[in-house]
Amino acid sequence: MGLTVSTNMGVPDVHDARDLPREVLALQATSPATFAVTALDGHRFAWVKPAGPAGPEQLIVADPATLQSWMKDEWKIGSVTGWPDTIGQLLGPEAMANTRSAEQHQRLRQLFSPMLRDDSMARMLPKIQGSVQRYMREWAAKGTVPAYTETLTLVFDVLVNQAMQLDWPDADIKKYAVLFEVWNQGFTPSTADPRWAKGMEARKELVARFRSAVSDPRLLPGSIPATLRDEYCAESDVVTDNLIMVLFAGFETSTSLTVRLLYELAKHPDALQKLRAEQQAVAAKYGPTLGLKALGAMTYTEAAISEALRLGQMVANVPRVATKAIETPRAPPVPAGCPFSASWAGQSVLDPAVQGSTTAFNPDRWLDKRNKASLKLHQTPFGYGTHSCLGWRIARAVAAAVAQELALAYELSAETDAAWDDFPTGSRPANELPLSLKPLAASAQ
């Protein structure tokens, strides 16, 4: 694939990919990152036909400057989310990702904003670390475990008990993590797929469980569920749709990140070695408990997490529909009603800081000052602007806590000879990544 960038400054670099074969178009639903990169073929924009038999043409956008200007204030520029009907119904119409009310969207973002604050992170970090230590001890005791499935439960626990502060017992965490995976498998291209119907059944149970949680007098004041209930009332769909929204946004995405990191560290002992050295130094300086200062000192670990995000492309593209014509200088005109896709994956491969080593795991590229501006511009795994991620610090914290615990306490081996399947909010090893952890002291004997 050649990287062709227009040299004619006034003319947008648009590729006509309308003649893609049906099997490539079908990748839109099953393998969004591969689809976007294939369709763009190194260009900044590409026109493609719909995946199904009918529907309008779609523009794929991978030009960083255009994405920044379009995503910064979407309500004003005239763009709304265009998630497929299957996901739309699984989430519910009042969810932050679906609502057509700018006012409600902005209010919800304010109510969720504590997830990004230092004081919330300072509260959560030791608890996330405690959960990670407990789960990893269990994995080590079991022998070889499917890392992906196990991490889904760990992440579900963090989302429910730390991000939402719901204090659900272990039995509920295990039960509802399995149920949420059924919900998640409902992300099929069509509502005719039986997995979608099962996902919708799972949704009913989740709604009932969340409704009982927000009516419980023991609900922690100031927690996100309590804040939503106080704003909208316990029976409101806005509350349940948006608690499901947190799970949708954080579940597969954060799991994919953590598992991708484990996979890369299993394949790159040199990187694991550097990580161990860093974690030992951080523990010596800040003590054993994970806090904001310790996290801030994990330079190499954070670089490894950024590299895992870049390789995994957990949210490869986000779908949008123009509500009015959008005309900006660097982009082809988008008529009102036209769907377009903000392709974080397509933008990522255009980055000069990754050229020639796009598929290599190289955390050091993040530590090279010469790459800083380029990486910042092209690598935006958590989106940009109006709908940008509200949970990115939590996702990175889980990955950092796992890396820390691994580095300080375990030897790992994993079956890394597997393909990765991508889908709307994650990327998953086909073999679930069989993983064995051995306590360091025992493996040294």
Residues that bind ligand HEM (CB under 6 A): 81, 96-97, 109, 112, 115, 159, 163, 245-246, 249-250, 253-254, 257, 314-315, 318, 381-383, 387-392, 394-395
Please state the φ and ψ torsions of residue 326, each to the nearest 5 degrees. Answer: -115, 120
Helices 392-409 and 118-142 meet at what angle, rounded to 10? 40
> Closer to ligand HEM at the Cβ: 109 or 198?
109
| Residue 12 or 82 with smaller CB distance to ligand HEM | 82
Closest to ligand HEM by CB, 253 vs 343, is 253
* Shortest Å distance, C-beta 257 to ligand HEM: 4
Least distance (Å) between residue 238 CB and ligand HEM:
13
Output the smallest distance, CB 219 to ligand HEM, in A: 18
Min dist CB 83 to ligand HEM, Å, is: 8
For residue 150, the minimal CB distance to ligand HEM (Å) is 17
Q: How far is the CB of 308 from ligand HEM (least distance, A)?
A: 9
Nearer to ligand HEM, 158 or 282 (CB): 158
Q: State which residue has the least CB distance to ligand HEM.
A: 391
Query: Nearest distance from residue 33's CB to ligand HEM, in Å?
Result: 12
Question: In the numeric block, which tokens belong to residue 36?
Answer: 């976007």
- Nearest residue (CB) to ligand HEM, 70 versus 300: 70
Nearer to ligand HEM, 166 or 318 (CB): 318
Is the CB of 20 or the CB of 154 nearer to ligand HEM?
A: 154
Question: Is 389 one of the annotated binding-site residues?
Answer: yes
3-state secondary structure the chain: CCCCCCCCCCCCCEEECCCCCHHHHCHHHHCHHHHHHHHHCCCCEEEECCCCCCCCCEEEECCHHHHHHHHHCHHHHCEEECCCHHHHHHHCCCCCCCCCCHHHHHHHHHHHHHHHCHHHHHHHHHHHHHHHHHHHHHHHHHCEEEHHHHHHHHHHHHHHHHHCCCCCCHHHHHHHHHHHHHHHCCCCCCCCCHHHHHHHHHHHHHHHHHHHHHHCCCCCCCCHHHHHHHHHCCCCHHHHHHHHHHHHHHHHHHHHHHHHHHHHHHHCHHHHHHHHHHHHHHHHHHCCCCCHHHHHCCHHHHHHHHHHHHHHCCCCEEEEEECCCECCCCCCCECCCCEEEEEHHHHHHCCCCCCCCCCCCCHHHHHCHHHHHHHHHHCCCCCCHHHCCCCHHHHHHHHHHHHHHHHHHEEEEECCCCCEEEECCEEEECCCCEEEEEEHHHHHC
Structure tokens at 213: 């949680």
State which residue, 214 or 345, has the beta carbon closest to ligand HEM: 345
Phi, psi of 220 (to 5 degrees): -70, 120
8 A C-beta contact, residue 420 and residue 429: yes
Closest CB to ligand HEM among residues 300, 344? 344
Nearest distance in Å: CB 68, ligand HEM: 13
> In the complex, what is the shortest distance from the CB of residue 164 to ligand HEM, in angstroms, rounded to a whole number?
8
Instruction: CB nearer to ligand HEM: give 101 or 273.
Output: 101
CB of 14 to ligand HEM, least distance (A): 22
Considering only CA atoms, which of 246, 227, 94 is closest in space to residue 156? 246
Between CA 327 and CA 332 the distance in angstroms is 7
* Measured distance between the N- and C-terminal CA atoms of the chain, rounded to whole angstroms: 49
CA distance 109 to 387: 9
Residues in the annotated binding site: 389
Residues in the annotated binding site for heme: 389
